[in-house]
Amino acid sequence: MAETLLNNEWNFVHEITLKVHTHDDVDQMRKEFLTLLQTLIRFDYASFYLEEEGKPARPVGVGLSREELEFYIRELEPIDPFRPLWSLLSDPKHSAIRVSDYVLNREIEETEYYQRTWKPKNIQYSLFAGLGYEGRPLGSLSLYRTGQGEEFSDKEILILNLLKSHLNLWLWKQRKPQILNQEFSPSLYALKKAYAVTDRELEVIDLWSKGLTDSEICQEISISKNTLKKHISNIFSKLSINNRVELLKRLKKPQG
């Protein structure tokens, strides 16, 4: 994508990222983000969902009522042909996409989802960004234009990608304590607190405690064997242990 931004566009991007990182309320941040985004990307409708327990939740939007956004969760998600893209596109390295780059318009128009959502509002174009961090889906952002507009440009995709990276980081920082609390046992948390173990090292310890082999751990969290060796070395050093048996004993021992 060979597009470049003008100075004033860079200034707007910078302003939006500052606004994102100065917020501490997830709903207000998303509402203000969508409002500011319209200075850089024109759209008629927008939806911004969080991902909670594998489902879209807590929506905010532009041009769409709360009832319409909640209706998607209750009735439309099971028939949404684009829903499988959420997990794929939640990879921080994956670009935002124009839906038309993945699906032909005539194929979209044949779906029940289109008939019940896009057609009544004359929506013709959509720009979608999955949000996530370290393999964990955190939400999704969709922008829509009616048939009176034109397709989203490469420059607009570039802008959304720049902002997407900041949204990923902000949402992860907000959700991190809740997500880790769901994933790790109290003994692992105690270990983290007592020995300054990083989140990634904690993942390795957790998978070890569940009996996974080194190869299985590498596959599970998408790291190389060399990277795993570094994590193991750091874990042994921080805990002053030499093998997995000692590690398992340490997990059973109360941490002071």
* Amino acid at site 128: F
Q: Is the CA virtual torsion 90, 94, 96, 99 positive or negative?
A: negative
Total number of residues shown for the chain = 256
Which residues of the chain fall below pLDDT 50? 1, 256
Contacts of 83 (CB under 8 A, 6+ apart): 77
- How far does CA 166 lie from the centroid of its chain? 11
As given in the structure block, the two tokens for residue 9 are: 């566009």
What pLDDT score was predicted for residue 99? Answer: 86
Query: d(Cα 244, Cα 186) in Å, to the nearest integer?
Result: 19
pLDDT tens, position by position, 198-231: 888 888 888 888 888 889 898 888 888 999 999 9
Query: d(Cα 213, Cα 118) in Å, to the nearest integer?
Result: 48
pLDDT tens, position by position, 6-25: 889 999 999 999 989 888 89
- What's the Cα-to-Cα distance from 241 to each of 143, 196, 235, 250, rounded to whole Å? 51, 15, 8, 9
Query: d(Cα 141, Cα 137) in Å, to the nearest integer?
Result: 12
Q: Residue 134 — left, alpha, or beta (φ > 0 → left; ψ -120 to 50 → alpha)?
A: left
What pLDDT score was predicted for residue 71? Answer: 94
What pLDDT score was predicted for residue 136? Answer: 81
Query: d(Cα 153, Cα 160) in Å, to the nearest integer?
Result: 11
Give pTM, 2 decimals: 0.70
